[in-house]
Amino acid sequence: MSEINTLSKSFERTLKDSNLHNVSISLAEVLTDSLMDEGVAKQIPIIGTVIGLGKTAVGIKESLFLKKIIYFISELNDISTEKRQEMINKIDTSGKFKTRVGEKLLYIIDKCDDHEESQIVACLFSAFLSGRISYDEFLRASHIISQVIFDDLRWFVEEGWKESDKWKYRYGLRDDCLTVEEAGNIASTGLVKIISPEVSVRDQDDHKMSDPYIVEGSKLCVEVSDIGKKISEILKDYFG
């Protein structure tokens, strides 16, 4: 069996059958062979599998991956085993997705820049398990997270749409939108969507002008996308 198949089956077993109540991020700080001695690897199959694939020692690559895994599953310890089984089986048996949930999550976690991003993805997956978002929305949200720098995501969730005195003087702009300049780095992400500017055409009052018409329009703006609203709501507690 290939390593990816071994990891995938082990991870899915962890998600569906393991008691995750005792899993905390503190485990990520003791990524040594002592995890095997303490029996953690037996309780959490994916930990034992990663350590086992590392053969005699856990190297830097395995340690970093394990840290992302531990931060991920630590966010799921409030979801019951039964609920995890139900939701994962529902996706795996739907016939809609060619890649099983366990394997898909491994791809997503492996691409995470660090354990913080992995934990954020876990918050979104927990929201899926709880029925707050669909699996499609989870996949879309995870892709967006991979494109946003951590500090920009924090700004979006905490400050991006917070009204201030300066908003009172944003002539011609809705209170629920930002200019592209105000949106900054998130303007090109799926967190927001472009609002088509309103353009008006009227006759030129000064007949001496060569152009008989005056074209006026609002600034190019963005508003929070539907998936952006859900991401913001889900991550409020994380950044709170």
pLDDT in tens, 87-110: 999 999 999 999 999 999 999 999
pLDDT in tens, 5-47: 889 999 999 999 888 887 777 776 665 555 555 566 667 888 8
H-type alpha helices, the chain: 3-17, 34-37, 40-43, 45-53, 60-74, 81-92, 101-111, 115-129, 135-145, 150-158, 180-183, 226-239
Which pairing describes strands 177-179 and 192-195: parallel, antiparallel, or unpaired?
unpaired
In the chain, where the domains are located: 3-146, 162-239
Alpha-carbon distance 94 to 54, whole Å? 34
CA distances from 216 to 52, 172, 212 (A): 66, 12, 13
Alpha-carbon distance 150 to 146, whole Å? 9
> Both ends of the chain: CA-CA distance in Å?
43
Alpha-carbon distance 112 to 68, whole Å? 8
Q: What's residue 208's pLDDT?
A: 57
Q: What's residue 216's pLDDT?
A: 57
Q: Residue 67 pLDDT > 60, yes or no?
A: yes
Rg (CA), the chain: 24
Alpha-carbon distance 229 to 175, whole Å? 15
Of 5-9, 46-50, 81-85, 150-154, the poorest mean pLDDT is in: 46-50
173 falls in which pLDDT band (50, 70, 90)?
Answer: low
117 falls in which pLDDT band (50, 70, 90)?
Answer: very high
Torsion 100-232-220-202 (CA) sign: positive
221 falls in which pLDDT band (50, 70, 90)?
Answer: confident
Instruction: Please give the model's pTM, rounded to 2 decimal places.
Output: 0.83
Alpha-carbon distance 220 to 170, whole Å? 13
pLDDT in tens, 176-207: 778 888 888 998 899 999 887 665 566 666 55
CA distances from 192 to 74, 177, 229, 230 (A): 29, 9, 9, 12
